[in-house]
Chain A
């Protein structure tokens, strides 16, 4: 059992502006924990989390891979989330390197075929398109969940980039719900990026059916 990162430094006021870890966060932690030994064996050197929010997931990853074993890169469009992620890294003695940006744009040029682990708990909740666009534009807490049509409008943009970023043997962990059409995501990344995939964890949390899908690039 790998302990959940210490988040005691984050206060209710932080969670007014930054997504508070919830069931969708915890299922991602559990999926990573399930794979912890396999991930360690691969000696990952670059880990990238898209939309790191509180920083809980990257701090967790760093806690079992080791703070100096890999470079932990995190992005978030929400500047408050970047500050919280950084603080969570400090609190848990994992150096998290934050960039306030959308998805992975500033890294695309330099990290082709280079990232060993990518994690993304995206805004997967179906909303009207305008709500998703406004939420991304406002760069606030709404950007953590408002996903537009089928909850896929933000995720889809990243899916077109993810195979290029992964190193040979690299893995991508994605949180998804049935409305996202998980089998279509798997088919798309197999066809476009030659990524094999598997649903590694599935859980019902209240009215949400959460899954973690693991994609892997061939060696």
Chain B
């Protein structure tokens, strides 16, 4: 499954595609919702590693609008629970991730994103 926390760390790596290659845009995504263990300490520590605008736009592509456009000043439990849900509990099982720059398509099948490139596409 592709969770949004992982998706927030993936960029297109096709040959010559080095700018505007993130975030990959979801298309035809089929999602499953699965509960996972809430860990506020992890989330607080992970916040600086997130690209927030990318997370917001990707969550919206999957139909989730629960997170604010701006990171709130107070990271209270309500906010962290919402963040936890978006990062960990929305799982993309099938679909495509498309590079905003070169339009390369990366397929997700049975929850595994295929980010292999053909020989001529490797940087």
A and B are interacting partners: yes
* Residues in B whose Cβ lies below 8 Å from that of A63: none
Interface contact A101-B49, CB-CB below 8 Å: no
- In order of increasing CB-CB distance, the 8 nearest A-B pairs are A68-B39, A109-B11, A101-B115, A68-B37, A105-B13, A97-B6, A110-B9, A82-B112
Query: How big is the B interface, by class?
Result: 20 to 34
How far is it, in angstroms, between the C-alpha of A118 and the C-alpha of B42 when the chains are bound? Answer: 18
Also in contact, A97 and B119, with CB within 8 A (given A68-B38, A107-B10, A114-B49)? no
Can you name 18 A-B residue pairings with CB atoms under 8 Å?
A: A43-B45, A68-B38, A73-B6, A97-B3, A98-B111, A99-B113, A100-B112, A100-B114, A102-B117, A105-B13, A106-B11, A106-B115, A107-B10, A107-B11, A109-B11, A109-B21, A110-B8, A110-B9
Interface residues of B: mostly helix, strand, loop or mixed?
A: loop
CA distance A152 to B112 in the complex (A): 28
| Chain A residues at the B interface, C-beta cutoff of 8 Å | 43, 45-46, 67-71, 73, 77, 79, 82-83, 86, 95, 97-102, 105-111, 114, 137, 139
Which residues in B have their C-beta under 8 angstroms from that of A100?
112-116
Residues in A whose Cβ lies below 8 Å from that of B38: 68
- The answer on a CB contact under 8 Å between A86 and B112 is yes
